[in-house]
Chain A
Amino acid sequence: DQQVKQNSPSLSVQEGRISILNCDYTNSMFDYFLWYKKYPAEGPTFLISISSIKDKNEDGRFTVFLNKSAKHLSLHIVPSQPGDSAVYFCAASAGQSGGGADGLTFGKGTHLIIQP
């Protein structure tokens, strides 16, 4: 039972254009969402997050949109750069313990390839 789904295993985008990575979730208890970027043989690197009380969060070239009714979020990267080529994981957490330390549930990742 996959609670966080990234249905596109890979995505190819031309340099300078917009990259849009999508993520769907099924657990209505999730209230915090994060995107991580991962290069081979490295740990995931935090990119951007969004709380369920918001529908948009922007940080430089990265914007995350959250549609709670559709249980869908997306990561927009604009403009896309060659260094953005990596695997992007969507992750979610639920406010179970109240202490914020709930651990993350990850999607399977989308391999983003930026073409020159």
Chain B
Amino acid sequence: DTEVTQTPKHLVMGMTNKKSLKCEQHMGHRAMYWYKQKAKKPPELMFVYSYEKLSINESVPSRFSPECPNSSLLNLHLHALQPEDSALYLCASSQGGTGTRNRMNTEAFFGQGTRLTVV
């Protein structure tokens, strides 16, 4: 199983709504990521969880709140979003590695993404 599964595939939400994006992997990866991709732009890193602890937050607004309940699951809680937050949200996972020299197995596997529209 080399899949990263994201749900839902599509989400439309109002600016006052609270919703969550979910991501799941069963590859035993210990690093999980959230990326945001706007149309015709590259994916941009939002958060990194390493061994279920938040290790990188790329100055993401607090209306995005990540959560890692266990090593297989990653959530992104959304609250009071703005229309400009509409984008494709990608989850990824990788083995994590145990040192900077052991990089050959740190390829990140991506999910299919959640297409989010904020109205």
Report which A residues bind B (CB closer than 8 A). 4, 31-32, 34, 36, 41-46, 49, 51, 89, 93, 95, 97-109
Contact = CB atoms under 8 A, between A and B. Distances in A.
Contacts, number: 93
A32 B95 CA distance: 14
Contact of A43 (B45, B48, B102, B112): B112
A49 B104 contact: yes
Interface majority SS (helix, strand, loop, mixed), chain B: loop
A43 to B, nearest CB: 4
A109 B30 CA distance: 27
Contacts of A42: 112-113
Interface majority SS (helix, strand, loop, mixed), chain A: loop
Contact of A98 (B30, B45, B49, B99): B99
A101 B94 contact: yes
B72 to A, nearest CB: 15
Output the residue of A46, A98, A101 with the most chain B CB within 10 A.
A101
Given A43-B110, A97-B56, A98-B100, 5 more contacts: A4-B42, A99-B96, A100-B31, A100-B102, A101-B96
B50 A99 contact: yes
Interface of B: 4, 6, 30-31, 33, 41-45, 48-51, 55-56, 58, 90, 92, 94-100, 102-104, 106-113, 115
B95 A100 contact: yes
A51 B103 contact: yes
21 contacts: A4-B42, A41-B115, A42-B113, A43-B90, A43-B111, A43-B113, A44-B110, A89-B43, A95-B103, A97-B50, A99-B51, A99-B99, A100-B100, A100-B103, A100-B106, A101-B55, A101-B96, A106-B42, A106-B43, A107-B42, A108-B41
B103 A99 contact: no
Given A32-B103, A97-B55, A102 B48 contact: yes
Given A34-B107, A45-B110, A100-B96, A109 B42 contact: yes
